[in-house]
Chain A
Amino acid sequence: MTADLADIEGEIKRILAGFLKDPRSLTGDTDLVADLALESVQIMEFVVEVEDCYDIAIDLESLSNVHTVSELAAVVAARLQS
Chain B
Amino acid sequence: MTLMDKFAAHRQRQRELGEAGADPTHVVMERMLSATEAVIGGRRTLLAGTNNYLGLTFDPECIAAGQEALEQFGTGTTGSRMANGNYRGHELLERELADFYGYPYAVVFSTGYSANLGALTALLEPGDCVLLDADAHASLYDGCRMTGAEVYRFRHNDPESLEKRLRRLGDRASRTLVVTEGLFSVLGDKAPLAEMVEIKDRYGAYLFVDEAHSLGVYGERGRGVAEEDGVLDRVDFIVGTFSKSLGATGGYCVSRHDALALFRFASRPYIFTASPCPSVVATTRVALRLVRERPEIRERLWDNARALHRGLGDLGLVLGATVSPVVAVRFDEKERALATWRTLLESGIYTNLMMPPASPDGSSLLRCSASAGHTPEQIQIIVEGFRRAVAVTDEPPGG
Contacts and interface: CB of A to CB of B under 8 A. Distances in A.
Contact of A40 (B150, B161, B357): B357
Given A39-B357, A52-B164, A60 B362 contact: no
A39 B362 contact: yes
B356 A60 contact: no
B197 to A, nearest CB: 21
Interface string A30-73: 00000000011110110110011001111111000000000000
Interface string B162-203: 001100110000000000000000000000000000000000
Contacts of A55: 164, 168
B145 interface: yes
A52 B161 CA distance: 9
B360 A41 contact: yes
Contacts of B150: 59, 61
Contacts of A56: 168
Contacts of A48: 134, 153-155, 161
Given A41-B362, A48-B161, A57 B151 contact: no
B168 A61 contact: no
Nearest to A38: B362
Contacts, number: 39
Interface in B334-386: 356-357, 360-362
Contacts of A42: 362
B100 interface: no
Contact of A41 (B161, B165, B168, B361): B361
A52 B155 CA distance: 11
B152 interface: yes
Contacts of B151: 59-61
Nearest to B153: A44
Contacts of A61: 145, 150-151
A57 B357 contact: no
A60 B357 contact: no
Contacts of B165: 51, 57
Given A44-B134, A48-B161, A52-B164, A57 B152 contact: yes
Nearest to A42: B362
Given A39-B357, A44-B134, A52-B164, A58 B152 contact: yes
B81 to A, nearest CB: 31
A44 to B, nearest CB: 5
Contacts of A51: 165
Nearest to B134: A44
Contacts of A44: 134, 153
A51 B357 CA distance: 23
A77 B296 CA distance: 58
A57 B170 CA distance: 11
Contacts of B360: 41
A59 B152 contact: yes
Contacts of B153: 44, 47-48, 60
Contact of B145 (A39, A40, A45, A60): A60
A51 B168 CA distance: 10
Contacts of A39: 356-357, 362
Most buried by B among A44, A55, A60: A60
Contact of B152 (A41, A52, A60): A60
Given A48-B155, A52-B164, A57 B361 contact: no
Nearest to B141: A60
Given A45-B155, A47-B153, A57-B168, 7 more contacts: A41-B134, A41-B356, A44-B134, A48-B154, A48-B155, A51-B165, A59-B152
Interface of B: 134, 145, 150-155, 161, 164-165, 168-169, 356-357, 360-362
11 contacts: A39-B362, A40-B357, A41-B362, A42-B362, A48-B161, A51-B165, A52-B164, A55-B168, A56-B168, A57-B169, A58-B152
